[in-house]
Structure 1
Amino acid sequence: MATTYTLGRQGSIILIWNGSRIDIQDVTDFTTHQEIQTQRVFPLNKPPVEFNTPAGWRGTFTIDRGNSALDTIFNDDELAFWNSNTISSGVLYCYIQESDGSTSKFEYSGLTLSFSNAGRFTAESVVSQTVSFFASQRRAI
């Protein structure tokens, strides 16, 4: 029996950084939420009015480290900044297999990354790494 609910394993992400696809193996967690800017108006002749304007998207993803891809990205970006004041950017794509067989596709553009957790190395344990991101915009593709 097929479920009508989305399971985490029905989602996948692809990272394009500085124009190159990055091999981020074994993504184990992906979280995202919309940022908003709350606007308020206080007219003299009626109650206050509040509305929200879009202010980007923020999120994280976690991988079980299978290669040095993330370490290389952050190493190269840091060197580029200190050597030539270059700030890197990218695009993140999220694909979700829907229960009706279709695929929802989202593009997160204007992407910036930070290495929230570069890994904890202990004997007999898988090393997990976490990246936080901000995207200026998300759009369905």
Structure 2
Amino acid sequence: MQPFDLGRQCRAVLVGPDGAVIQLETVTGFDARQVVQKVRTNPLNGPPQEQQIPSGWEGSFEMSRQGRAADDLFSGMEARFWAGTPIPYCTLFQYVTERDGSISAYRYSNVSISLADAGSYRATEAVTQRIEFFASQKDIA
């Protein structure tokens, strides 16, 4: 058994508002961070106290561009916006193969996405694109 987790044990799947999997290129990186609102008080008769209130999740995933899927997805979203149509939320699933062989599954809900980097085109380098997301909540799928 390996002594620690490797990034290759993670898989991210983006699902559109219609329930269809959005076929994106080869995902090469994924990160997620919990967003918290820190509420602090300084009582006169004791040490400071803090509560951290969950306020969603944010993160990104990178992929090697192998086609037009991401470009078409975001062009379509932009066209919807300019046509006065709301951009619906997506759902993001993260699957982690644990060291014992079991799979942990997490669902990020009410996901808004943006194409943070459409890629840099160089003669002899892979084109990497990055999608950033914000999700209202993460739960066990």
In structure 2, distance between residues paired with 1:43 and 1:121:
56
Unpaired stretches in structure 2, ≥5 consecutive residues: none
What's the counterpart of residue 15 of structure 1?
A: 14
TM (norm. structure 1) is 0.93
What's the counterpart of residue 26 of structure 1?
A: 26
Q: Give SS of 2:83's match.
A: helix
TM (norm. structure 2) is 0.93
Q: 1:3-57 deviations in whole A, cap 9, x for unaligned?
A: 0311111110110122221111210010111111001123333332111010111
Question: Percent of aligned positions with the same letter in both sequences?
Answer: 36
What's the counterpart of residue 5 of structure 1?
A: 4
Q: CA deviation at 1:69?
A: 1.2
Q: CA deviation at 1:136?
A: 0.6
Q: 1:66-117 deviations in whole A, cap 9, x for unaligned?
A: 1211111110110001102312210000000001111010001110111110
Equivalent pairs counted in the alignment come to 140
Q: Give SS of 1:84's match.
A: coil
Supply the AA of the counterpart residue of 1:10.
Q
Q: Give SS of 2:28's match.
A: strand
Unpaired stretches in structure 1, ≥5 consecutive residues: none
